[in-house]
Structure 1
């Protein structure tokens, strides 16, 4: 556990030193029953919206679609940019593009692995207790229960 935290810290600092800004994506996929897809990572606590980092040469939308398929097996029919957020907790240089997906095709669900330990559909009024505060805020903003302050 200690070694993986140390490695992540070194990699994160190296990445920040090499680039002026980082960009990540998250995707809020909601099914016809009003449930949202959340994932639990093998390397970080809590439940999160699916997503990850934008790779070199990739658009944010392409990255969001790729991460959604890789982490959940869902293929978005249409991604809608819902917001762009500053993430001060990640070195003061990170931003997160949040996309909304209401129509998607279900593909094969990926097997649990080191990155995604678990995934599931949850009603907005019955999110897992350890859903991250940022995920809760984004869902409240997306579905009309809160105003955004622009920070992740």
Structure 2
């Protein structure tokens, strides 16, 4: 990522974008007493690259995913989120790797991390209102602004680090 892109990223996360992110969290707190989300660690068969996304309303690169909706299973939410955020269709059974408490989002939020090796990307992800960018990145060259939680999950899966109970 260039210095100009990183600066633009930081500027985009101020003002309306930051307020919008807080409004989303406030809305979810009103509608759901406890939130449960899913994230997918989508990686290639030789385990050298992973798919990451960058939202328009929060800073940093992260694993794709989102909240489990009412009446939806975690797997259905994962399938929906991966398609919405990366045009990725799951071809095999994702593996539930770990569940984490996400204190940064709220005192009621938990995230299930699934490993996805068998998939098909129908087309490269184009920017939209939610996703600014998405793509595959080599494990040894993750974007500079990859979130700490994303780096921890990758280290747990590919580096043998112990799984943290916190996101």
State the TM-score, normalizing by the size of structure 2: 0.84
- RMSD, aligned CA: 1.5
How far the C-alpha of 1:10 sits from its partner, in A, is: 3.5
Distance 1:92 1:79 in 2: 27
Structure 1 spans left out of the alignment, 5+ residues: none
Match of 1:102 in 2: 117
Q: In the aligned structure 1, how far is the partner of 2:30 from the partner of 2:83?
A: 30
CA distance in 2, matches of 1:7, 1:129: 24
Residue matched to 1:85: 100
Aligned equivalents of 1:125, 1:4: Cα separation in 2: 30
| TM-score normalised by structure 1 residue count | 0.92
Task: Select which of 25, 34, 41 maps to 1:12.
Answer: 25
Cα-to-partner distance string for 1:80-137 (whole Å, 9 max, x where unaligned): 1111110011121000011101111221233211211111111111111110000000
Cross-structure match for 1:30: 43
What CA distance in whole angstroms lies between the structure 2 residues aligned with 1:46 and 1:144?
21
Alignment gaps of 5+ in structure 2: 1-13
- The verdict on how the C-alpha distance between 1:122 and 1:16 changes in structure 2, with shifts beyond 3 A counting, is same
Q: Give the Cα separation in 2 of the matches to 1:106 and 1:91.
A: 32
Runs of 4+ in 1 over 6 A off after TM superposition: none
Q: Give the structure with the larger helix fraction.
A: 2
Q: How far 1:149 sits from its partner (Å)?
A: 2.1
Which one of the candidate residues 65, 70, 86 is aligned to 1:51?
Answer: 65
